[in-house]
Amino acid sequence: MQYSIVNYRKITEIQDFRIDAECFKPIHLQTEELIGRLKHQTIKELAISVINFGAYSLCNYIEFLNEGVPFIVTEDIHNNIIDVNNLHFISKEVHKILHKSHCKKNQVLLTMAGAYLGQAAVYYLDFEASSNQAIAKITLKESLIDPYYLATFLNCVFGQSQINRFRTGTGQPNLNLGIIQTIAIPLLSDNFQKYIKNIVVEGIHFHNKSNDFYKEAEQFLLSELGLLNWNPKHRLSFVRNFSNTTSADRIDAEYFQPMYDEVLRAISSGGDFSSLGDLVSIKKCVEPGSEAYQDSGVAFLRVSNLSRFGINDDNQKYLSEDLYKQLKQHQPKKGEILLSKDATPGIAFYLKDEPAKMIPSGGILRLTVKDSTKILPEYLTLVLDSILVQKQIERDTGGSIINHWLVDQGKATLIPILPVTKQKQISEKVNDSFCNRNFAKQLLDIAKHGVELAIEKNEQSAEKWIKRELDKLDVET
């Protein structure tokens, strides 16, 4: 059991007068004490402005397009990285209307709501973009603090403590701009801030290399099937026979969009192909119920924790060790592919290494390739994540409020099978992508923990630890 003893006067000093126990957890009070010993200033004192999207009424203008001006949402920001792999797009006209949403170089973006609350990154991208109403844009005064250091601090345990302490709401947690401005930032030396910046920038560099390798793999695949520059079009009218509706057991027009036929023709005419069910064995996972969730224990892997680039711990839920023992048959194994079938169906991730202890949710399937001499698991994973399968899933799940991709629908999904030599070329690019992404994560984690050590101990101790860790990675400092 945790408890804190707090003077009533201290409670009255809290902005918005908080009396809930969550606000006075020992970790939050320890953070306040540690930062209080150091030279520090609030974000309000360090920033020229802290703004977000503006009025919610402006949301009426937003319509997402297949191309246009990039529109960054909360799930695109994580641990100093802005993910450009699944960007939304808006028109130039809407972008112009949403002038307060424009991102500028060296602003610190901080997510303000939902499962991804409290994630920070510097806007380092070379193109113009907007951001949604749940992202604060912090424009700093020059020379007072480095933006990469600030973003790293916000992502570290002491930044997260302040964010979690003062967030509001229960089902949908939120940060407001006023609270963000009160976050206290330790003013570590300029040299140390620059040291952290250099590590973060290097991490971003390797993350970008990872994206490049993955894109090359995708383009290789699509090029082989004649879909490299394919731009799927939604048609308002087309003709289908009644026999088509009876054989498909569907009568909704969306299912019969011509673009889905174009994908299937490309797969079937590109050489060898097979249904997913013929290529893999499939194991369903389990749903123990939210009443089984704990704050610590064995990770319970939900669809929101799964991406095509790995497993994240955003809003992580846990199960007890005793329950894990009962459900141990659902533990994923090295060599399997995890594939989501609910909520956001079609997210695939290959477990190249032995995974940590975890139990996947009922919305995730475990796939094992039956014959790796016919199809390589890395190649299959890329195909599952590609537009080839995503369009088939879109066709199958169309019209549902909450998407559910049935196991039988998954088994019937068509998979192109390129010659093994070409599969190997694609797999090598995928592996290069993941190696660079893992290296980027290691660098960003070193920067984050280095900031924590500098606050807990001192900058000299932090720099020694950082140097040791970078030496292990053969990174020059």
Using alpha carbons, list the distances in angstroms from residue 315 to 120, 305, 312, 398, 442: 15, 8, 9, 28, 21
> What is residue 172's DSSP assignment?
S
- Side-chain half-sphere CA neighbours of 102 within 13 A: 13
Q: Which fold has domain 212-428?
A: Adenine-n6-DNA-methyltransferase TaqI; Chain A, domain 2 (3.90.220)
Exposure letters 82-118 (e unless 16+ CB within 10 A, then b): bbeeebbbbbeebbebbeebbbeeebbbbbbbbebbb
Residue 434 has a pLDDT of 95
Predicted confidence (pLDDT) per residue in 150-162, tens digit? 999 999 999 999 9
Residue 6 has a pLDDT of 59
As a whole number, the mean pLDDT across the chain is 90
Type of residue numbered 73: V
Stated pTM of the model: 0.88
Residue 117 pLDDT greater than 80, yes or no: yes
Rounded to 5 degrees, φ, ψ at 348 are: -120, 140
- Give me 142's structure tokens: 């020059």
SS3 content of the chain, % helix, strand, coil (to 5): 45, 20, 35
Least confident range from 53-67, 341-355, 359-373: namely: 53-67
Predicted confidence (pLDDT) per residue in 16-30, tens digit? 656 566 776 888 889
CA torsion 290-294-300-305 (nearest 10°) is: 90
Residue 283 has a pLDDT of 97
Using alpha carbons, list the distances in angstroms from residue 119 to 49, 108, 300, 440: 19, 10, 21, 17
Pick the CATH number of 8-187 from 2.60.40.10, 3.90.220.20, 3.30.450.90, 3.30.420.40: 3.90.220.20
Residue 360 has a pLDDT of 97
Dihedral (CA of 48, 200, 437, 463) sign: negative
As a whole number of angstroms, the distance between CA 467 and CA 464 comes to: 5
Least confident range from 245-259, 296-310, 461-475: namely: 245-259
Residue 57 has a pLDDT of 53
**Residue 428 banded pLDDT, cuts 50, 70, 90:** very high
Residue 232 has a pLDDT of 79
In 132-276, at which residue ranges do the beta strands (DSSP E only) sit? 135-140, 184-186, 272-275
> What is residue 168's DSSP assignment?
B
Exposure letters 15-35 (e unless 16+ CB within 10 A, then b): eeeeeeeebbbeebbebbebb
Using alpha carbons, list the distances in angstroms from residue 199 to 78, 168, 207, 435, 462: 16, 33, 12, 17, 13
- Side-chain half-sphere CA neighbours of 16 within 13 A: 13
As a whole number of angstroms, the distance between CA 212 and CA 206 comes to: 10
Predicted confidence (pLDDT) per residue in 280-326, tens digit? 999 999 999 999 999 899 999 999 899 999 998 877 899 999 999 99
Residue 361 pLDDT greater than 60, yes or no: yes
Using alpha carbons, list the distances in angstroms from residue 224 to 227, 228, 414, 432: 8, 8, 16, 20
Residue 217 has a pLDDT of 98
As a whole number of angstroms, the distance between CA 290 and CA 283 comes to: 22
In 229-322, at which residue ranges do the beta strands (DSSP E only) sit? 272-275, 280-284, 298-301, 306-307, 310-311, 317-319
As a whole number of angstroms, the distance between CA 373 and CA 333 comes to: 20
Least confident range from 27-41, 60-74, 190-204, 246-260: namely: 246-260
- Side-chain half-sphere CA neighbours of 93 within 13 A: 5
Query: Of all residues in the chain, what percent carry a pLDDT higher than 90?
Result: 72
- With a CB cutoff of 8 Å and minimum separation 6, the contacts of 303 are 340, 342, 343, 344, 347, 361, 363, 364
Query: In DSSP terms, which residues pair with 50 in a beta bridge?
Result: 138
As a whole number of angstroms, the distance between CA 84 and CA 86 comes to: 6
Type of residue numbered 126: D
Where is 462: in which H helix or E strand?
helix 459-472
As a whole number of angstroms, the distance between CA 238 and CA 257 comes to: 8
Q: What value does the mean pLDDT take over residues 215-222?
A: 96
Query: Of all residues in the chain, what percent carry a pLDDT higher than 70?
Result: 92
Where is 51: in which H helix or E strand?
strand 47-51
Residue 258 has a pLDDT of 87
Which of 384, 195, 252, 209 lies closest to 306, judged by CA?
384
Query: In DSSP terms, which residues pair with 473 in a beta bridge?
Result: none
Dihedral (CA of 307, 312, 313, 315) sign: negative
8-187 shares its CATH topology with 212-428: yes
* Domain locations along the chain: 8-187, 212-428
Residue 59 pLDDT greater than 80, yes or no: no
| CB-count burial class (<10 Å; 0-12, 13-18, 19+) for 455 | buried
Using alpha carbons, list the distances in angstroms from residue 376 to 418, 420, 475: 10, 8, 32
